[in-house]
Structure 1
């Protein structure tokens, strides 16, 4: 056991972020790494037990964290995303959820051996997936837009529905088992649910209005949202347990669809908080499990229940609810398999376990074990199989890392063409149609629109592109674009063309140097310089480094006017050269550079001379 609660909090935070880093570094599902970490420091080695150590604070901390995570997820639910997927999302959130509830309850009764009352409560709860598990998986698996959006919407919309179904089932049990049953309690349940939706909508509208009218300054907007979210969840939850999840979801969706410009800025802040909370909460929950709970997982009825939920209940609910939605067979197969359960299932099941045990249902004792068995099994199975299955079903955009180039001009089009020839996904984006004529003529993929507009966000599929290159003739726009997309692409994957101008005493820029992304290639090469080189006949040359022809010999042979552009690793990884990043080519790498046409002329001249010599020899014969 750790000597102090403060040290335990620090340890949980460090291990949570370390788990996220390991998952990112080795391309593993983050949820799996966090779960294993929690099990190791909790029931396996007994270093911490957050539930005991935090005492009465454990429940409120978990609940507040879940509320913030669910709100952050719902803040991404713009109704414009539903274009083309509205019917599948509606079906999966209503008919699909209902079918999963009924089938899951039957499975819990006949296979897990639970009483009808407990089975219907847990059956309602287990329809949830949730943003805590879906979002990290979608970030790692490059799914095509339609299945990715359906899974995201389902995870966020069905989360509160599952909790409400569990409450609804419990309220029915209370009514049925009462000595003098009446429907008042059920009416209160529906009234509380309606209140939660209206309350969340009203808070969202009110907060949005205050943001738009300037009643809340910029530096207070993010803190205000966090506080209001917790208040929204708590107030609704006090009226009836678990309606708080519904309330914060309604609040998030309301704000997401008000068109508030500052919401996108706060969304990045909320995403950072969400990652931190998911990292810590998952470790806290798994570390709080008892050894006896883990051993119970291996009982035949629990294993059978988990297998049926994964291989029968979920696929059947998807295939039945998706009839007539226009989804392909491959999409239905993917959706029918991917349904990892997460934090909401763990937290709410522990609440109902205690409530049902207090009501005299002794079989509710295994709810925690059953829940963790399903959560861990689905997280591991779906986390490791999503990418593989998506590739097999041709629903993945995984492949060589691509580049999204903003600005269509003579240089960027030639650059895009060289990437295309190297089988690297590339697209040129420009809001001026005339500029795109160069891309059209070269046969390079292009998109007509403003990269910073909301319409582009919904219309342009950016999943295949790992790098963003801002190369317009407007240095301020390049910096703004890079700053906007830094949180999405990562600091090392966002580049802008050099804004510097060469003077006698060095280089200067009209834009603050630290604003935006990294300088692409070298500060010596502005867009104007690069376009001039293209017009002078500079060529794109590929050079493969070998054991016989290494980096040193290549550097000795190169022309001093050569511009290093990018290199391609043997495994297909793309790296752009930048003076702000240390890129060291190695054996097997292909270096692509922009070189003077001198060597090309020499090759042509040598070929001409060779032809002359051959003609002369033939004449002598």
Structure 2
């Protein structure tokens, strides 16, 4: 039995994590692969049957996992994001939640033909648009920060609100429906539960933050201790009122996420890893546990209800609740369409549906299959459409920009060349306003301040950044910048200027290799060397690879001492060249390199090359150059003649 259970648990975890990996490779919503994997492993192939294999502990384990997921979601709710979208977020989690409950209830009663108690419970459950599905979708869609904050705040705040409301409706009709005094007691208990959850979650968060900042807890215990307190708070709050623990851990996460806590970056990273694992496995468990027979209870009324939920009720609730706010119409359209349901909705329906059937309420047997139908429909339709809709509404952008840290004469010239000659979105950051002056005058977007400060990080739209280059004179600082941003941009897109070979041989003088970014350009492209070559009048050049001029032709004609800087792909994405790597390019790509300035003889040779190329002949050793560079040479010649 133990061996069998081990195999089941290994299968569930492996399916969840591998689904995430495959979804990343295929660039498709991970949540869709969770559904497919769970259905195949459970109802279709019968490999996994969580209810039988895991038994009675399944429901508590799912509850604990959801608590951890909500805590991590609370950690990600930053007040500066709320300030940007405050008006819309306030409406979505207040008027929007109440209006959604009303409209979902009316649709369930009049379209789905459910009894009023079951309709009220159905409407309460559908308020939930949880982070278990929203966060993976946002990660894949690349929405701008303002639009993403609407969906993220609504999902994380409404998750415990919807669950608590569902508990309230269930307890009112099952335990106190016939007694007004008992019914009033349910509301009183709910009020106390909310108050206790706020005090418990907020108090523990503040105490933990204080203990962390006053070194009462060693670094290696901060994440495990926080994890343990999340579980304890969830359990204690749930003893006062069912599902109140979800609200308590959400509040705890929100407060800790907005405190200045030492080691918060590591804590966030640990929680993110745990959450990814739990989202993957819990969704596999719930879909694998689905009984296909429950879908037999659905009829055409159920189909009409699901369509109304998707195309009428949700858009109407969002548009009505956000009237006269600062949300623009594009945000309202996207938020009105995107409302996937996930773990919490399915879990609450799985607990309350059968008990409503036992209580004899009409249509209660359809509650669970209806919720699963909504979960499946929203996950698939919203998962596949959010990226396309966001691009159509111009609410997302492909990560094609470049972040350069450190304004020196060389990096300023690089930023100018990328911005003005290649139309690459460049952000140059430096803590010296004087060093940024030349870049500002050249039309480069600059950001004044410390790149590791909270204010600058709030100003950066990292979803627009394809790669980063730390190019200051301090190798240790460059490494610190790279290690900070590597979790957001991936290791292969975070670069720093290389260190001297002599320092590499003496390990006591350099930053450890795992803490550094990838060395950029060339092993000899150190800060001082690039500065020296800048004052030797080296320049940036670009060459586009075409069918008539191949990459092999470029390598043959390029100066031997040139430094390969970057490759601009045909779709506009730019990636710096790594030191020691072999540059590659395909037709349509543009290569940027750094080489000595050409003299008059070189310009004459370039003109001769163009003439020979036009005649169809070849000129051995000719140096290819872009039309923009040739135009610059002609202008220089005109200036000299003048």
TM bracket, shorter-chain basis:
over 0.9
Task: Summarize the alignment of residues 576-591 of structure 1 with structure 2, pairs less than 5 Å apart.
Answer: 576-579=576-579, 584-591=584-591
Distance apart, 1:384 and its partner CA: 1.2
The equivalent of 2:614 in structure 1 is none
Task: Summarize the alignment of residues 275-314 of structure 1 with structure 2, pairs less than 5 Å apart.
Answer: 275-296=276-297, 299-314=299-314
Contact 2:472-2:478 at 8 Å conserved across structures: yes
* CA distance in 1 between partners of 2:112 and 2:591 (Å): 60
Distance apart, 1:3 and its partner CA: 7.1
* CA distance in 2 between partners of 1:108 and 1:601 (Å): 81
* Worse-superposed segment, 416-425 or 560-569: 416-425
Structure 2 segments unaligned to the other structure (5+ residues): 612-642
Secondary structure of the 1:455 match is helix
The equivalent of 1:451 in structure 2 is 451
Secondary structure of the 1:429 match is strand
Task: Summarize the alignment of residues 540-559 of structure 1 with structure 2, pairs less than 5 Å apart.
Answer: 540-559=540-559
Structure 1 ranges of 4+ moved more than 6 A: 503-508, 608-611
Contact 1:567-1:592 at 8 Å conserved across structures: yes
Secondary structure of the 1:584 match is coil
Distance apart, 1:329 and its partner CA: 1.5
The equivalent of 2:273 in structure 1 is 272
Query: For the structure 1 residues 116 and 608, does the alpha-carbon distance in structure 2 shift closer, same or farther, using more than 3 Å as the test?
Result: closer
What's the CA shift string for 1:515-565, capped at 9, x where partnerless?
121111122211221122222122222223345443333323222211011
Contact 1:19-1:34 at 8 Å conserved across structures: yes
* CA distance in 2 between partners of 1:190 and 1:503 (Å): 64
Task: Summarize the alignment of residues 93-492 of structure 1 with structure 2, pairs less than 5 Å apart.
Answer: 93-174=93-174, 177-179=177-179, 181-182=181-182, 183-296=184-297, 299-361=299-361, 363-398=363-398, 401-420=400-419, 421-492=421-492
* CA distance in 1 between partners of 2:178 and 2:280 (Å): 42
How many residues align structurally? 609
Contact 2:503-2:509 at 8 Å conserved across structures: no
Contact 1:318-1:335 at 8 Å conserved across structures: yes
* CA distance in 2 between partners of 1:606 and 1:97 (Å): 68
Task: Summarize the alignment of residues 521-536 of structure 1 with structure 2, pairs less than 5 Å apart.
Answer: 521-536=521-536
Query: For the structure 1 residues 561 and 102, does the alpha-carbon distance in structure 2 shift closer, same or farther, using more than 3 Å as the test?
Result: same
Distance apart, 1:605 and its partner CA: 6.7
Secondary structure of the 1:51 match is helix
* CA distance in 2 between partners of 1:453 and 1:96 (Å): 35
Distance apart, 1:480 and its partner CA: 0.7
* CA distance in 2 between partners of 1:42 and 1:391 (Å): 35
Query: For the structure 1 residues 45 and 296, does the alpha-carbon distance in structure 2 shift closer, same or farther, using more than 3 Å as the test?
Result: farther
Contact 1:500-1:509 at 8 Å conserved across structures: no
The equivalent of 1:618 in structure 2 is none
Does residue 64 in structure 1 map to residue 58 in structure 2?
Answer: no
* CA distance in 1 between partners of 2:69 and 2:269 (Å): 13
* CA distance in 2 between partners of 1:55 and 1:548 (Å): 67
* CA distance in 2 between partners of 1:38 and 1:210 (Å): 42
Secondary structure of the 1:405 match is strand
* CA distance in 2 between partners of 1:253 and 1:262 (Å): 16
Distance apart, 1:186 and its partner CA: 2.1
Contact 1:500-1:507 at 8 Å conserved across structures: no
Secondary structure of the 2:54 match is helix
Distance apart, 1:578 and its partner CA: 0.6
Query: For the structure 1 residues 110 and 554, does the alpha-carbon distance in structure 2 shift closer, same or farther, using more than 3 Å as the test?
Result: same
Does residue 77 in structure 1 map to residue 82 in structure 2?
Answer: no
* CA distance in 1 between partners of 2:203 and 2:73 (Å): 19
* CA distance in 2 between partners of 1:517 and 1:122 (Å): 51
Query: For the structure 1 residues 168 and 601, does the alpha-carbon distance in structure 2 shift closer, same or farther, using more than 3 Å as the test?
Result: farther
What's the CA shift string for 1:101-141, capped at 9, x where partnerless?
00001111112222111111121111111111111111111
How large is the RMSD of aligned CA atoms in angstroms? 2.4
The equivalent of 1:619 in structure 2 is none
Query: For the structure 1 residues 269 and 157, does the alpha-carbon distance in structure 2 shift closer, same or farther, using more than 3 Å as the test?
Result: same
* Worse-superposed segment, 20-29 or 350-359: 350-359
Distance apart, 1:463 and its partner CA: 2.0
Query: For the structure 1 residues 593 and 508, does the alpha-carbon distance in structure 2 shift closer, same or farther, using more than 3 Å as the test?
Result: farther
Structure 1 segments unaligned to the other structure (5+ residues): 612-621
Secondary structure of the 2:263 match is helix
The equivalent of 1:517 in structure 2 is 517
* CA distance in 2 between partners of 1:180 and 1:424 (Å): 67
Q: What TM-score, normalized to structure 2? A: 0.90
Contact 2:428-2:447 at 8 Å conserved across structures: yes
Contact 2:81-2:145 at 8 Å conserved across structures: no
* CA distance in 2 between partners of 1:604 and 1:172 (Å): 90
The equivalent of 2:617 in structure 1 is none
What's the CA shift string for 1:239-267, capped at 9, x where partnerless?
21111110101111111122213222210
Query: For the structure 1 residues 188 and 506, does the alpha-carbon distance in structure 2 shift closer, same or farther, using more than 3 Å as the test?
Result: closer
